[in-house]
Amino acid sequence: MRTRRLPAAVVAIAAACSLVACGGQREPDAGGAGTEGGRLTIATGNTTGVYYQLGGAMAKVISDKVEGYRATASETGASVQNVQGLVAGNYDVAFSLGDTATDAVKGQNSFQQPQDVVALTRLYPNYTQVAVRASAGITKIADLKGKRVSTGSPNSGTEVIARRLLTAAGLDPARDITAQRLGLPESVDAMKSGSIDALVWSGGIPTGGITDLTTSLGKDVKLIPITDLLPALQSKYGTIYQEGTIPAAAYKQPADVATIIVPNVLLVRKNMPDELAEKLTKVIYENKDALVQVNAAAKDITLETAAQTDPVPLHPGSKKAIDSLK
């Protein structure tokens, strides 16, 4: 069996994660999140994504700073799966893209009914990153017709926005592309081997997997602009989608790339005690430097935007924390 070598950023966080049992399945715990102490499990994302890196860092900070609690970070397929697992009680805290969280509270698209979730805080923005093989002749999303495309992990926020982009470009995601529903590590490997022509990824910048891809393939891979589709997305889904820029320096590209950004939110169930929600929110902002050390995307986690989670309700305990820190 071939062993895949993880990027340096992921290796760096592994030590921190190991201190808080950063891992997969949640172990049963008699205490739980609703008592005066216990275990907290954070649903993150793919191992080479920012959710996973920051989730591990948050778990360590919570374990070190919130008395009576031990937090762990779990690798997942990301947003949709995270919300489903949160509601089911498999996780206590979950990273999610803002568009997926909006669908959850409204009970639409991936969710058949409104979900009982609220936000601890708004986080950094996710940048939609569409990487293509330079030889594939792809300069815009419409050019993906007939191509082999990784649209992200099943039930991930990346998959949600990938399908919406394809539809906005006039393509049928089920018929007009050869879709590969791969996680980021597998997508990067497939790009390297030439078994796919493009991948869609929604994540903070820099994302370790994309850094690995652009470093390994050099001029054989490029990021394409997608803001021509922003009006169509905003018309259908609202201003949750905004214009953004992937700086050339992020992945050592020849120029900046115009893209679409979506805010991230940190979710919990509505019944989390106010005191615990307040403590968790405070510990994030009081230890932001520890998060930035893990990934620069955390620089954009700010108190100025912390409460801007609408239409996802902000937990009352989090509101108290944010107001006290300003």
29-38, 211-220, 291-300, range with the lowest pLDDT: 29-38
**Is the pLDDT reported for residue 213 higher than 60?**
yes
Both 153 and 302 in one domain: the answer is no
User: What is the per-residue pLDDT for 60?
Assistant: 98
Give the integer Cα–Cα distance in Å for 76 and 220. Answer: 30
pLDDT in tens, 187-196: 999 999 999 9
Mean pLDDT confidence for 302-315: 97
Residues, the chain, total?
326
- Residue 232: give its domain's CATH number: 3.40.190.10
Both 281 and 309 in one domain: the answer is yes
* 146 C-beta neighbours (distance < 10 Å), count: 11
Mean pLDDT confidence for 23-43: 58
Long-range contacts from 243-248, C-beta under 8 angstroms, 24+ separation: 244/125, 244/127, 246/127, 246/129, 246/205, 247/205
Mean pLDDT confidence for 108-137: 97
**Is the pLDDT reported for residue 40 higher than 50?**
yes
pTM above 0.75, yes or no: yes
Higher pLDDT, 94 or 78: 94
User: What is the per-residue pLDDT for 80?
Assistant: 94
**Is the pLDDT reported for residue 261 higher than 60?**
yes
User: What is the per-residue pLDDT for 155?
Assistant: 86
Give the integer Cα–Cα distance in Å for 70 and 72. Answer: 7
Q: What is the mean pLDDT of the chain?
A: 90
Range of the domain at 245: 126-263
Q: Are 224 and 133 in contact (CB under 8 A)?
A: no
**Is the pLDDT reported for residue 115 higher than 90?**
yes
Q: Are 85 and 267 in contact (CB under 8 A)?
A: no
Is 2 part of a structural domain of the chain?
no
User: What is the per-residue pLDDT for 160?
Assistant: 94
21-25, 128-132, 157-161, 184-188, range with the lowest pLDDT: 21-25
Domain final position from 263, 285, 306 = 263
Count of domains in the chain? 2
User: What is the per-residue pLDDT for 19?
Assistant: 38
Is 18 part of a structural domain of the chain?
no
Both 178 and 284 in one domain: the answer is no
Both 56 and 180 in one domain: the answer is no
Domain final position from 247, 263, 279 = 263
